[in-house]
Amino acid sequence: MAIKVVVVDSAQLPADTDFPPLETHKYGWEQYPGLSYEDVPERCWRADIVVALATSITRENLEKMPRLKLLITAGEACQRLDEQAAQDQGVELLAFPDARLDSLVEAQDLCNRISEAINHYIRNFENNGVPL
């Protein structure tokens, strides 16, 4: 089964900033410039991993994303996250609260770190023989 990753608000990143490809061959990557609160569950309901840079992820959203295993937040999204709801849903959290998205160099570093974190997360599951 392929891993599905969704970035819900990539317009928060400076132009020419991009996420490096993942190391696994079986994955889908959807990247939206910005989804409204209402659109998040519709676009992420089959996602295994969601990345939010500014978008609020609430209990109501999380309940509509049954496959979600990992939620990565950065910057503003960290302050808008319902951590208890994520824990209640069994979703692992990875937060970059001090991420700066206004600098091309720092934003690219964040994208690199997020991709590496996803690679590490996937490797842990593959090495333990657990399908995502």
pLDDT at 80: 74
Rounded Cα distance, 49 and 7, in Å: 9
Give the pLDDT confidence of 32-60 residue by residue, as tens digits: 999 998 999 999 999 999 999 989 899 99
Q: What is the pLDDT of residue 130?
A: 56
pTM for this predicted structure: 0.92
Domains of the chain by residue range: 3-127
Q: State residue 20's pLDDT score.
A: 95
Q: What is the per-residue pLDDT for 45?
A: 95
pLDDT value at residue 132: 53
Q: Do residues 121 and 49 lie in contact, with contact meaning Cβ atoms separated by under 8 Å?
A: yes
Helix residue spans in 1-132 (DSSP H): 39-44, 59-63, 76-79, 83-89, 104-127
pLDDT < 70 stretches in the chain:
1, 128-132
Which architecture characterizes domain 3-127 according to CATH? 3-Layer(aba) Sandwich (3.40)
